[in-house]
Amino acid sequence: MPWLALFSLLPLLFWVALALDRSRAWPRELRLPTAGAAGGGTAAGVVAIVPARDEAEVLPVTLPALLSEARRVILVDDGSRDGTAPAARQIAAAADRADRLTVVRAPPPPPGWTGKVHALARGVEAAAGRAGGEPEWLLFVDADVRLRTGAAAALLEVARGGLDGATYDLVSVMARLRARSFWERLLIPAFVFFFQLLYPFRRVRRPESRVVAAAGGLALVRARTLRQAGGLAALKGAVIDDVALARRVAAAGGRVWLGLDAEIESVRPYEGLAAIWRMVARSAYVQLRYRPALLALTLAGLVLLVAAPPFVAAAAAGRLVAGPAAPPALVALVAALAAWALEARALAPAVRHHRAPIAWAATLPFAGILYALMTAHAAWRHHTGRGGAWKGRSYRF
């Protein structure tokens, strides 16, 4: 069956080419420096802004660390219904950090604004409105992200050239997402792997590169550069707000750095498939710029290059068992198994980073099937005008 050999050689060639592309290899060296952890203390000149909508459950875990890292923390209560604002005040008082916390209540976002970007904009306004005017640095932190000791100082060190001699206007870190449940271990390392495949971290920091991205969970931005880039109003409708922010900063002449830190973690659980499905589908078709041609290409790639190898291997093995050893079937079996092994090798660093058992590296083909379904579902909802919802707020893909 020559078609089996064809469908095994295509993914094999893809994964061999990917293994040879060092710019897309796992960026082990792009980690925050640890020097700041030794001394502790707060980062001078940094104002942290936390957009928070119904985050009372995670704040006891994340807010104390942030209050120890930044001298000023502005928490923007974005229409919470679970007591987020009073919970934040109680946590700050219990930690003897009430003087560092300011709680701002954001009105409903105006038409054309996404909720998170509008909340961040209200936080930036509050930061500039205090005595002393505009701060030098703004630290955007998702409410579910728990910082390690010295994280803010380490971000500043990278921004000021302490890591590679280059100064940056936007420094962001992909927080380690939770990977404890079955669905988290199947899909979360693959999510970060695909993001790194799409936006190679090593290319992001190169000033001549056209690849620009950021991780919105933890991002340090120079306030002056943000203002020169048009402020948050320039990305008011962005669903993928972190990448939009990076592109605006780069367009304004700023430099961008994107890295990792295994000790900075998101504590938000994704226990079931539905929770991860909503998270991915929210931005999957946006990433493809709502273009059916890109959708078709993406789905074909996920199915033929990512998902196919174990199924082609099974079909080839069945063919060999059923009859005489046909050379095309033998070639297909060997090529498909080799492609699957290269997939596992590529995913393995992301699995280790998320502290999951290494055996999960072999599950990328099955994660690829689910990511194809999520992307197709997002496109279907967009083209049928159904949109969706995120934290009780309706939006369109």
The pTM score is: 0.92
List pLDDT tens digits, range 14-62: 999 999 999 999 999 999 988 554 445 567 789 999 999 999 999 999 9
The whole-angstrom separation of Cα 227 and Cα 173 is: 22
| Dihedral sign, Cα of residue 215, residue 82, residue 270, residue 34 | positive
Q: 221's torsion region: left (phi>0), alpha (psi -120 to 50) or beta?
A: beta
Residue 180 confidence class, pLDDT cut points 50, 70, 90? very high
Mean pLDDT over 158-174 rounds to 93
Buried b (16+ CB within 10 A) or exposed e, 237-253: ebbbbbbbbbbbbbebe
| In the chain, beta strands by DSSP E | 43-52, 70-77, 101-105, 137-141, 145-146, 170-176, 218-222, 256-266, 388-390, 393-395
Beta-carbon contacts of 172 under 8 Å, excluding residues fewer than 6 positions away, are: 214, 215, 216, 217, 218, 219, 220, 242, 246, 256, 257, 258, 259
Residue 385 confidence class, pLDDT cut points 50, 70, 90? confident
With CA atoms as reference, report the closest residue to 283 among 346, 365, 195, 368.
195
